[in-house]
């Protein structure tokens, strides 16, 4: 029997600061066989061990296409993330996964694709944005709306710049609070939604951000006419095992780790009855 709690060792290849408190780590599994067997899809996550400190879940923040490494982007917020931020290239961590389900891709071909990200909610959306962009012809349109608290909180700046100027794609940014030098929009990310011009009956929205942002953006999308099944989000929860045993991430009749983390609004609606 394969032991799902046994991590594979991986080495940090690259450490790239995103903001004052977030960093992207590029990881590569040490064992060639494990590397060859590591097939992940946008939306999936891993459990990462900093040995002796603990284990925590992180979404895989990069498309699998054409590379034998993967990225995770991490905000320094707790014990494991703090210890990870102290690590450098060459440091060894443990990886279990890929875990969980993934964003629909083939299922949404031909549709207008809308991404709405708030803050570090852009992390899990990034691999899907990369994959959709790579197969641009298979989608009616691509729109990325991204908001952060302040300009200093914007992540993936290089890529945002690239998306903003990419042909056949709309990418709009906003910040809640402008600072000196910011000439862009100011307002919550939902304030960008009126810019959506496509036929929403053929639209699919991928949403991720803080709980309050998900709540308001989802409501806006429903009001715009998006179907409940066409609003797709990825949830984060306190998780220990990642395989539906420890129960920490349970909401209602779902384990976020195993039944999710990707859910449609229709599924989320039933789950929301269990929490404030």
Partner 1 sequence: MTARMVPHSRVDEFVARLMEAAEVIAPRRVEGGDVFYGPISSPAEVAWDYGTAVEPLKRLLVPQRETVLRFSVNEGIHVAAEMDERERVFLGVRCCDVTGVTVFDALYGGDIPDPYYMSRRQRSILIALTCQQPPNDTCFCVCCEAGPFLTKGYDQQWTSLPDGMLVEIGSDRGLTLARAHDDLLLPAEPDHLAARYRLAREAETKFSDFRSYIAAAMRKLTMNEVLPEVWEQAADRCLECGGCTFLCPTCSCFTVTDRWEGPQGLRERHWDACLFRCYAREASGHNPRAELGDRMHARFFHKISHQWAQRNGRQACVGCGRCVMTCLGWAHTPAVTEGIRRGVIP
Q: Which residues bind partner 1 (CB under 8 A)?
A: 1-7, 9, 49, 51-56, 75, 77-81, 92, 94, 211, 236-238, 240-241, 243-253, 258, 273-276
- Looking at the Cβ atoms of 6 and 106, the one nearer to partner 1 is 6
Is residue 250 a contact partner of residue 240, using CB atoms and an 8 Å limit? no
Nearest distance in Å: CB 78, partner 1: 3
Rank residues 58 and 103 by Cβ distance to partner 1 and give the closer one.
58
Nearest to 131 by CA among 84, 183, 47, 61: 61
Smallest distance from the beta carbon of 17 to partner 1, in angstroms?
19
- Residue 6 or 183: the one with the smaller Cβ distance to partner 1 is 6
Burial of 244 (0-12, 13-18, 19+ CB in 10 A): middle
Give the C-alpha separation, 263 to 122, whole Å. Answer: 16
Other beta carbons within 10 Å of 207: 25
Closest CA to 13 of 85, 123, 91: 91
CB of 102 to partner 1, least distance (A): 17
The angle subtended at Cα 79 by Cα 43 and Cα 214, nearest 5°, is 35
Q: Which one, 220 or 259, has the nearer CB to partner 1?
A: 259
Smallest distance from the beta carbon of 140 to partner 1, in angstroms? 35
């Amino acid at each position: 029997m394969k032991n799902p709690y046994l991590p594979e060792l991986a080495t940090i290849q690259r450490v790239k600061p995103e903001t004052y408190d977030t960093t992207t780590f590029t990881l590569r599994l040490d064992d060639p066989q494990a590397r060859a067997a590591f097939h992940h899809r946008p939306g999936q996550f891993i459990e990462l061990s900093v040995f002796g400190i603990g284990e925590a879940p992180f979404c895989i923040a990069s498309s699998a296409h054409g590379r034998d490494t993967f990225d995770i982007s991490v905000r320094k917020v707790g014990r494991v993330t703090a210890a990870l931020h102290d690590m450098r290239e060459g440091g060894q961590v443990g990886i279990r996964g890929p875990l969980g389900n993934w964003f629909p891709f083939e299922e949404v071909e031909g549709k207008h694709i809308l991404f709405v990200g708030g803050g570090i909610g852009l992390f899990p959306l990034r691999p899907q944005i990369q994959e959709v962009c790579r197969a641009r012809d298979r989608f009616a349109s691509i729109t990325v709306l991204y908001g952060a608290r302040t300009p200093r909180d914007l992540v993936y700046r290089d890529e945002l710049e690239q998306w903003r100027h990419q042909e056949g794609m709309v990418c709009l940014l906003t910040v809640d609070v402008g600072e000196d030098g910011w000439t862009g929009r100011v307002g919550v990310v939902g304030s960008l939604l009126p810019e959506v011009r496509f036929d929403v009956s053929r639209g699919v929205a991928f949403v991720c951000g803080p709980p309050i942002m998900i709540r308001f953006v989802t409501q806006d999308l429903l009001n715009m006419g998006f179907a409940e099944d066409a609003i797709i989000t990825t949830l984060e929860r306190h998780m220990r095992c990642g395989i539906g045993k420890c129960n920490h991430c349970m909401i209602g009749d779902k384990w976020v780790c195993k039944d999710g983390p990707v859910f449609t609004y229709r599924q989320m609606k039933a789950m929301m009855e269990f929490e404030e």
